[in-house]
Chain A
């Protein structure tokens, strides 16, 4: 008890004075925006990592292939009806997915579609109705199809699927590292952004140069991490070659998606004829 009183006496005078410091307001929208956009990416990566189970039921290579064919057909067709049919199909698939994913996919596709609509507006007004309407609907179909693919498959299985399309090992290897390190470096830079935000009380004039400092430090850190990673790889005997060892058989779902893609192909030819 006595100790505490002693401490109070020892306290310098300026500490016991009440202060009335109001920090000057400063703009830091760009720091906030950077934090937000890095955070979005991180949460997106984390989401697809944690959720497993029911998602990987369909054969991923097949899913990638079907999506690619669909996007190609949509891009090639000159029939507005074909694009409409594809859109309706995608909307129905979208309505079956769970709400959280649905909102995410819709946000992405609506954003790009609205942007396209604005870009196409002058062309529409000046009479070029065909391309302005068709392109806008086509863009919606393409982005929705991509969204459905990336939100319904784990990314690690997606990179595995690439191996089936004879993409070189070095590319898959780099892709794998990239996704992992976007997460690690993202977290790293996020911490620095927080630090910058916490340390700038009042007006901080060197905030802009700190921004370059953060980017530079992230680069140097990435260099170190890359070297560490190589050594870790070497220790574990990984030479950068990938082998697929899953001999998964086609299930009825897979035959169904083949059937649907074939159906779209027939429709494409049917409407292309007219």
Chain B
């Protein structure tokens, strides 16, 4: 679910980051209020924990493995505000130091995984737990909460992808960023999460909570004020569902563009774009000269490709020598 850069437009990224600022401010204030100073280091250690949790592979049917995100788990263990900060820091380290998720898309990734996921998951858990007040109900809450949390986060990511081709097109009607509309992005994101990732998340979260409950029952987060909590939950839930409004306008947009699709109905493409490339065939070289003539003087073009060629050759030989060194090392060892 880590969105890399250039899938979303810079303006979307800016909007998502702006949306996160009040959440972060609130989370920091809340954490300072709620958590005694003794436990501030716990936020950092919690972030390290959530980072490592993604390294834990869980077996899946069919011989493959997957990993949990653990946003809801952190929210249950430390409270949603602390979880928000911890996941934010974990995402920041992934983006800055491990190249996992974009720098510009950091705000969007935080919105999905540090805000929507833990808050939604936590309040679903809280709702079910408060209504049943039995042990079984609590486990049910954990399972539903973590399952719903990760799927709603995936839905948000899908909507962010899906609105790109509607909002950002060039003169020829081609998408500038992610080219897939909502009708493609939502099933593509949601089906794997509903069937696989959500199940992994729910099972793993429940198993860890059961274990910690057994070993050290006193370590859970207790929401201080029940009544206000419920109100916050409602508000958080509503915020989470506001993108659904975009979903509705999205289909309207799609219908509105139907005349465009009519033109290419012989191509039968589901994307709703004028297949500009069809006239020239799917030939890469047909695209390239076009750019070369328009943009760059011939000399500069030669120069550019020469530099690229030299750099690629150096890299190639360095990689080659490295592979040889590895092999030699293996023989010795």
Contact with A along B42-60 (1 / 0, CB 8 A): 1111111101110111110
What separation, in Å, do the CA atoms of A179 and B116 have in the docked complex? Answer: 25
Is B208 in the interface zone, CB < 8 Å from A?
yes
List B contacts of A219 (CB < 8 A): 49, 77, 208, 212
Is B135 in the interface zone, CB < 8 Å from A?
no
Is B207 in the interface zone, CB < 8 Å from A?
yes
List B contacts of A184 (CB < 8 A): 48
Is A191 in the interface zone, CB < 8 Å from B?
no
Is B174 in the interface zone, CB < 8 Å from A?
yes
Contact residues, A167-199 vs B (CB, 8 A): 168, 170-171, 173-182, 184-186, 189
Choose one: A88, A122, A177, A186; the contact of B304 (CB below 8 Å). A88
Please give the distance in Å from A135's CB to the nearest CB on chain B: 5
Known pairs A38-B52, A123-B179, A216-B211; A155 contacts B97 (CB<8 A)? yes
Known pairs A112-B99, A127-B274, A182-B52; A29 contacts B6 (CB<8 A)? no
List A contacts of B139 (CB < 8 A): none
Q: Verify A129–B277 contact, CB threshold 8 A.
A: yes
Q: Verify A88–B308 contact, CB threshold 8 A.
A: yes
Looking at the complex, which of A17-25, A98-106, A258-266 is the stretch in contact with chain B?
A98-106
List A contacts of B175 (CB < 8 A): 123, 128, 131
Residue in chain A with minimal CB distance to B307: A88
Known pairs A106-B319, A170-B40, A227-B38; A146 contacts B311 (CB<8 A)? no
Known pairs A155-B97, A208-B59, A209-B207; A95 contacts B170 (CB<8 A)? no
What separation, in Å, do the CA atoms of A136 and B40 have in the docked complex? Answer: 41
Q: Verify B46–A222 contact, CB threshold 8 A.
A: yes
List B contacts of A166 (CB < 8 A): none
Q: Verify B319–A102 contact, CB threshold 8 A.
A: yes
Q: Verify A126–B52 contact, CB threshold 8 A.
A: no
What separation, in Å, do the CA atoms of A181 and B53 have in the docked complex? Answer: 13
Residue in chain B with minimal CB distance to A132: B179
Overall SS of chain A's interface: helix
Is B291 in the interface zone, CB < 8 Å from A?
yes
What separation, in Å, do the CA atoms of A112 and B43 have in the docked complex? Answer: 30
List A contacts of B282 (CB < 8 A): 124-125, 127, 129
Choose one: A133, A147, A212, A223; the contact of B211 (CB below 8 Å). A212
Which of A44, A99, A135, A178 is most buried by chain B, counting CB atoms within 10 A of its CB? A178
Q: Verify B5–A150 contact, CB threshold 8 A.
A: no
Which of A125, A130, A135, A158 is most buried by chain B, counting CB atoms within 10 A of its CB? A130
Is A76 in the interface zone, CB < 8 Å from B?
yes
Known pairs A185-B49, A219-B208, A223-B219; A37 contacts B57 (CB<8 A)? yes
List B contacts of A223 (CB < 8 A): 42, 45, 219
Is B4 in the interface zone, CB < 8 Å from A?
yes
List A contacts of B216 (CB < 8 A): 220
What separation, in Å, do the CA atoms of A78 and B174 have in the docked complex? Answer: 12
List B contacts of A80 (CB < 8 A): 291, 295
Q: Verify B57–A30 contact, CB threshold 8 A.
A: yes
Is A108 in the interface zone, CB < 8 Å from B?
yes
Q: Verify A174–B311 contact, CB threshold 8 A.
A: no
List B contacts of A60 (CB < 8 A): none
Contact with A along B267-287 (1 / 0, CB 8 A): 101110111111000101001
Q: Verify B39–A230 contact, CB threshold 8 A.
A: yes
Contact residues, B308-323 vs A (CB, 8 A): 308, 310-312, 314-315, 318-319, 321-322
Known pairs A127-B275, A175-B93, A230-B38; A100 contacts B52 (CB<8 A)? no
Known pairs A71-B5, A95-B310, A102-B319; A240 contacts B44 (CB<8 A)? no
List A contacts of B51 (CB < 8 A): 41, 178, 182
20 contacts between A and B (CB under 8 A): A30-B59, A30-B65, A34-B55, A78-B176, A103-B322, A108-B98, A112-B4, A124-B277, A127-B278, A127-B282, A131-B177, A138-B6, A142-B6, A173-B40, A177-B48, A181-B45, A182-B48, A185-B49, A209-B211, A212-B208
The residues of B with any CB-CB pair to A shorter than 8 Å are 4-7, 10, 13, 28, 37-49, 51-53, 55-59, 63, 65, 77, 85-86, 89-90, 92-93, 95-99, 102-104, 170, 172, 174-180, 204, 207-208, 210-212, 215-216, 219, 264, 267, 269-271, 273-278, 282, 284, 287, 291, 294-296, 304, 307-308, 310-312, 314-315, 318-319, 321-322
